[in-house]
Structures are given as structure tokens and as C-alpha cells.
């Protein structure tokens, strides 16, 4: 086996991992008490990555909201502006979920 073997991941997989953080965490509702405690400790350690994901979604929120305002003010394409407003609202929902997860994953 060569020393520098590279595993190629599909682009959709990399994009998913760039935007969504679920792959970083373990399920704390499976296994016995020791496995659940280990999963909780793992999740608390992974908490440090959530602010970066929140920053990414904040930038997406600002970009989609700015595009929506620009489209609405520069043209009469209200349907196109509504699509970007909807994207901005979805970005804010993801932000709230990440913030709640970050707040509740504090070390005990």
C-alpha cells in the first residue's frame, strides 16, 4: 500500500460536511450507560466547532437577505425576492438550532 493514499470523497459529501454539523456528534440515546456517557463527553468536546458553522450560516443569511432587498428594491420581481427571503429565514432557523445546541453542550 502506498504511503500517500488519498481517499476521494464526492463533492456532495464535502458540501454536506461543510454546511451541516450532524456528522460531528454521536447519538447519546443508544447503548448502555457507559457508552452514553462517552458519547456525551465526545459531543461536549465537539461543541467547539459549532461557532464556525454558525458563522457560515450567518454569512449565508446576510447574503440571501441582501440579495432579497436588492431584488425587491431594484425590480418588481417580488417572487424572486420572496425566494431569497425564504432562504434567509431558513438560515436564521439553522442559526437558532446551532445556538441552542452550543448552549446546551456545556461541560457539567
pLDDT digits (tens, 9 = 90+) for 55-103: 999 999 999 999 999 999 999 889 999 999 999 999 999 999 999 999 9
CA distance 95 to 23: 17
State pTM to two decimals.
Answer: 0.84
Do 41 and 26 touch, CB atoms closer than 8 A?
no
Three-class secondary structure assignment of the chain: CCCCCCCCCCHHHHHHHHHCCHHHCCCCCCCCHHHHHHHHHHHHHHHHHHHHHHHHHHHHHHHHHHHHHHHHHHCCCHHHHHHHHHHHHHHHHHHHHHHHHHHHCCCC
Tell me the pLDDT tens digit for each residue of 4-56. 667 888 999 999 999 999 999 999 999 999 999 999 999 999 999 999 999 99
Amino acid at each position: 500500500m502506498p504511503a500517500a493514499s488519498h481517499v476521494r470523497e464526492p463533492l456532495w459529501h464535502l458540501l454536506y460536511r461543510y454546511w451541516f454539523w450532524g456528522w460531528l456528534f454521536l447519538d447519546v440515546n443508544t447503548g448502555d450507560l457507559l457508552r452514553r456517557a462517552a458519547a456525551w463527553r465526545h459531543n461536549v468536546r465537539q461543541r467547539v466547532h459549532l461557532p464556525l458553522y454558525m458563522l457560515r450560516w450567518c454569512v449565508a443569511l446576510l447574503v440571501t437577505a441582501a440579495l432579497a432587498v436588492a431584488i425587491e428594491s431594484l425590480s418588481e420581481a417580488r417572487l424572486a425576492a420572496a425566494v431569497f427571503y425564504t432562504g434567509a429565514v431558513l438560515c436564521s432557523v439553522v442559526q437558532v438550532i446551532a445556538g441552542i445546541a452550543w448552549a446546551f453542550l456545556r461541560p457539567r
